[in-house]
Structure 1
Amino acid sequence: MKDFFYKYSNRDNLIAIRTSSQILSYKELFTSAKEFSSKLSLLKNSESKYIPILSQNNAEFVIATLALWNIGLVPVPINTRWTDKEIDSVLTRNVFKYILYEKKFSEKLRKTGIPKISFDEVSSFPYNEATEISNDEAVVIFTSGSTGIPKGVIHTFDSLVNSIINGTEILNQHVSDKWLASLPFFHIGGFQIICRALLNGCEIIIPDNLETDSLKNSIEEFKPTHISLVSTQLQRLIDINTRISNSLKVTLIGGGFSDDNLLFKADKDGWKPVRVYGSSETASFVTAASIDEIKNYPSTVGKPVKNVEIKISDEDEILISTNSLFKCYLNNPEETAAKSVDGFYHSGDLGKLNNGYLFLEARKSDLIITGGENVNPYEVEQALLKIKGIKEACVFSLKDEQWSQKVCAAIVTSAGISENQIIEILKEEIASFKIPKEIFFLDSLPKTSLGKIEREKVRSMFTRNE
């Protein structure tokens, strides 16, 4: 199904990408991608078909992705918010041979030993006629693992396209519609914005950055027809009175908990919100709930969309079967086998069904979703326990108006160390969004008879009328 993304490649009168400083037609975009791929013979001849890309949302990222597709290689978007240590760990563990990157992130690659190629360098490479190579794999998206080690989710062109087709009724896309690139391309929600646009001949509006003011400016100036946000972004945009055009068709709201009242407010303001639920492994959303459905079934994440079947296991885990499921985890057959059983993806989320509507009850994996980013508490705990003077640590989430959930930690110390000192040390070890927003100092942590810290008991100690 790769060809689905190329069907508008010769349209010179159709805008593919718009930024504050440039406009590229579909023909210009694909011509640039073809030229880019013709200069990547060293990548094509490497031992690995997986090529990491470290870049913010920009036209170069889209061009690089298409260029890799042209020669049968697989883009692996890298989280730009990771520290240099986290990036080097992922690159080393997965034995990548090269990385493409935007020069502004060169400092984040100072620890890595693999060859680094900036977008700017590619333009100076010799031209070699690129022979198109077939490959069913389209992208690797990294997501948090149960041990704190990011897992590479491999999607095929089929699974990406199927996800888009399954959501057709919700998205209602047409040629010349406009998608706001409002989520990072290294997340499945952001990457699928590119894919949805290419598949339907839509314009991709790329803001200067993903800060609230920049999103507001792009929304008001370029008037997108489609937007995808996490609840934190939506709340901030509403707070600064972002003006919405009548041309807006839908705003997808996903990436974790979203308050019903926030969506009701957004609906009154013209955002046309639809709450969705999905994951990296499902290639974006598999359920959707309109405002009317949320009014009738408060807190629901909706009914399954086309070609999706959802079951609840005896342990209350949400099991998902769909033609948009991932192929496997990169270099992790054990986790693949554990998560994909008899055609159903075991989500790790707990929930229930009522009249066909799905309700989320808990995250079995204890992942914290803060501002749309996944944080594994185990990883943060390990970073805390490396700090001299911290004897025990338990990381958990509390609800938060700004972040949906905020990362918190309860610790037991043996020596005098302040919260500010802890945060400064963590800044060198983990990404900023993983650093606890609140740290509680305790004399002891509640444990089971086997000595395991009881995370929910710790969390309940600090829950304020949630």
Structure 2
Amino acid sequence: MNGFYETAAADPGRLAVAEPRTTYGELLARVNQVSHGLRARGLVTGDVVAGVLRNGVDPVVMIMATGQIGLYYVPVNWHLAQAEIDYILGDCDAKVVVTGPEDVAALAEGMPSGAPGDRTAGAVMWYTSGTTGFPKGVQRPLPGAAPEAVLPLYAWFLGEVVDLRAGDGVHLVTSPMYHSAPCAHTQFALHLGHTLVIAPRFDPEPILELIDRYRVTNAMMVPTMFHRMLLLPEEVRKRYDVSSLRQVIHTAAACPVAVKKAIMDWWGPVLYEYYGSTESTIAFSVKPHEWLARPGTVGRPAPTFEAKILDERGEELPPGEPGMIHVKSGLGTFEYRKDPAKTAASMRGEWYAPGDIGYLDEDGYLFLCDRRTDLIISGGVNIYPAEIEAALLEHPSVADAAVIGVPDEEWGHNVVALVQPHAPVTEEELRAHLEPRIARFKHPKVIEFRTELPRTPTGKLSRSKVREEYLAPPG
């Protein structure tokens, strides 16, 4: 594998992006111009650039431009409220922020299209929320070597985990590139010499049309997408040829066994799954035939990873016994930017705890039992109840609030808020109150009022009790 920069120089006519049609040579020229533009603004190795960008060529340019001049690139979710965006931009100390095509064009304007000097690998720093709901940057040490020098290890790793290889593949981007997995797969599709087909958003039938039209060979999806595709009428599904698919990689949330089987009945044995986090990267992985032999597993430890299941005392548990998952990576360490205490709290020595409960079978395959107690995953996106509760409690008529995730067949979980008022307030007033405070995707699907919410003997809100009572059958 030569990687993007070398491939583009050697084969400039190769198609890099299908829409708008962009060759590797054209993309490299713009990447180089932006790299020069960033340096002209005084950025040096280790500085941070943030992008609040919608899917398209621009975020690709920013990832590859920062990636060859030793900068950290922070992709920011453009759905966030302005106050949330401002928090991330302040916390990461971004020296340059790009918010649209005009910003990228301004960086490139008048700059040479040749490679910058003193090329050194950068890194993407994704922001992820903790249980408090305040996002933290997951920062890894910069390699201190040319981009091409670090690619062989990652190419080998991807090949081992999901059978991706360099060549004439076509990668479909179905999710926003501000999420870690879609961003990483977009980046490595170019390093593998593949062509990118970038969907502006996920919509079941248009996605099938893109697969058919461009003979897509690999894609990255989340289980909610599978569910929505399976809801299409049979005659709609049959309109599109999906036989070109070789690897459809999914992660971010548990996929119901029936949904995964139904997709493989339709598309063939092409679903590759991995389990991990922004912090741990790909910790477990499972290929299609392995999963069909053990439905429900998220796989065995990925290459260079070790895993163990610990009880509350930190004792290792035998196969079949559920406990907290701990992983150790051979691919390097991470730290939460500006938060050494949080970094230390997430580790047990060299072992990182993603915060999930699961068990290993006799052959070392992991089965998840439950997510972190309070975490809600809706459509593959992490939503943190404490953040929504805090926003609700800012309303002067709200005495208490509890936010829980309620199982939903399509989304995985829906957000439900139970509110204890101490003065008259309507659901419409609360929704208007939340609008400027938190992103729309975090807004509760359901708001219900309660005269009292359960608490522990120490006075702490008991979310588990709230959840049990809400989900209990009538009577």
TM-score computed with the length of structure 1 as normaliser: 0.88
Asked whether the 8 Å contact 1:325–1:345 carries over to 2, the reply is no
Asked whether the 8 Å contact 1:260–1:294 carries over to 2, the reply is no
Asked whether the 8 Å contact 2:123–2:142 carries over to 1, the reply is yes
Task: Give 1:450 deviation, angstroms.
Answer: 0.1
User: What pairs with 1:317-328 in structure 2 (closer than 5 Å)?
Assistant: 317-328=324-335
Which amino acid in structure 2 is aligned with residue 405 of structure 1?
H
Is 1:333 matched with 2:331?
no
Please provide the CA RMSD for this pair: 2.6
Asked whether the 8 Å contact 1:160–1:324 carries over to 2, the reply is no
Q: 1:4 to 1:130 in 2, by over 3 A?
A: closer
User: What pairs with 1:168-317 in structure 2 (closer than 5 Å)?
Assistant: 168-169=159-160, 170-240=162-232, 241-242=236-237, 243-270=240-267, 272-283=270-281, 285-315=282-312, 316-317=323-324
User: What pairs with 1:408-427 in structure 2 (closer than 5 Å)?
Assistant: 408-427=416-435
Match 2:139 to one of 129, 154, 166: 154
Asked whether the 8 Å contact 1:14–1:176 carries over to 2, the reply is no
Asked whether the 8 Å contact 1:147–1:379 carries over to 2, the reply is yes
Q: How many residues align?
A: 448
- Supply the distance in 1 between the matched residues of 2:45 and 2:301 (Cα, whole angstroms): 40
1:143 is matched with which residue? 128
1:39 aligns to what SS in structure 2?
A: helix
1:321 aligns to what SS in structure 2?
A: strand
Larger deviation, residues 41-50 vs 451-460: 41-50
- Supply the distance in 2 between the matched residues of 1:40 and 1:143 (Cα, whole angstroms): 25
1:298-343, Cα deviation, whole Å (9 max, x unpaired):
4221222222211112232111122335532222222222224432
Task: Give 1:206 deviation, angstroms.
Answer: 0.8
1:347 aligns to what SS in structure 2?
A: coil
Which amino acid in structure 1 is aligned with residue 274 of structure 2?
V
1:32-81, Cα deviation, whole Å (9 max, x unpaired):
21122222234434797011011011111111222222332221111111
2:319 is matched with which residue? none
2:37 aligns to what SS in structure 1?
A: coil
Asked whether the 8 Å contact 1:391–1:413 carries over to 2, the reply is yes
Larger deviation, residues 387-396 vs 244-253: 244-253
Which amino acid in structure 1 is aligned with residue 136 of structure 2?
K
Task: Give 1:261 deviation, angstroms.
Answer: 0.3
- Supply the distance in 1 between the matched residues of 2:339 and 2:110 (Cα, whole angstroms): 35
- Supply the distance in 2 between the matched residues of 1:399 and 1:417 (Cα, whole angstroms): 27
1:172 aligns to what SS in structure 2?
A: coil
1:311 aligns to what SS in structure 2?
A: strand
Which amino acid in structure 2 is aligned with residue 230 of structure 1?
V
- Supply the distance in 2 between the matched residues of 1:97 and 1:31 (Cα, whole angstroms): 23
Is 1:82 matched with 2:75?
no
Task: Give 1:162 deviation, angstroms.
Answer: 4.5
- Supply the distance in 2 between the matched residues of 1:253 and 1:209 (Cα, whole angstroms): 17
Is 1:165 matched with 2:156?
yes
Asked whether the 8 Å contact 1:208–1:214 carries over to 2, the reply is no
Asked whether the 8 Å contact 1:39–1:128 carries over to 2, the reply is no
2:147 is matched with which residue? none
- Supply the distance in 2 between the matched residues of 1:200 and 1:218 (Cα, whole angstroms): 20
2:166 aligns to what SS in structure 1?
A: coil
Q: 1:26 to 1:135 in 2, by over 3 A?
A: same
2:49 aligns to what SS in structure 1?
A: strand
TM-score computed with the length of structure 2 as normaliser: 0.87
Larger deviation, residues 244-253 vs 234-243: 234-243
Task: Give 1:348 deviation, angstroms.
Answer: 1.2
Larger deviation, residues 318-327 vs 54-63: 318-327
**Percent identity between the aligned chains?**
27
Asked whether the 8 Å contact 1:178–1:203 carries over to 2, the reply is yes
1:95-124, Cα deviation, whole Å (9 max, x unpaired):
323211216xxxxxxxxxxxxx72233344
- Supply the distance in 1 between the matched residues of 2:390 and 2:152 (Cα, whole angstroms): 38
1:405-429, Cα deviation, whole Å (9 max, x unpaired):
1111111011222222212221211
Larger deviation, residues 305-314 vs 139-148: 305-314
Which amino acid in structure 1 is aligned with residue 54 of structure 2?
Q
Q: 1:286 to 1:48 in 2, by over 3 A?
A: closer
Task: Give 1:375 deviation, angstroms.
Answer: 0.8
2:350 is matched with which residue? 343
Q: 1:46 to 1:7 in 2, by over 3 A?
A: closer
- Supply the distance in 2 between the matched residues of 1:102 and 1:325 (Cα, whole angstroms): 33
- Supply the distance in 1 between the matched residues of 2:151 and 2:409 (Cα, whole angstroms): 32
Task: Give 1:352 deviation, angstroms.
Answer: 0.9
- Structure 1, unmatched stretches of 5+, are 104-116
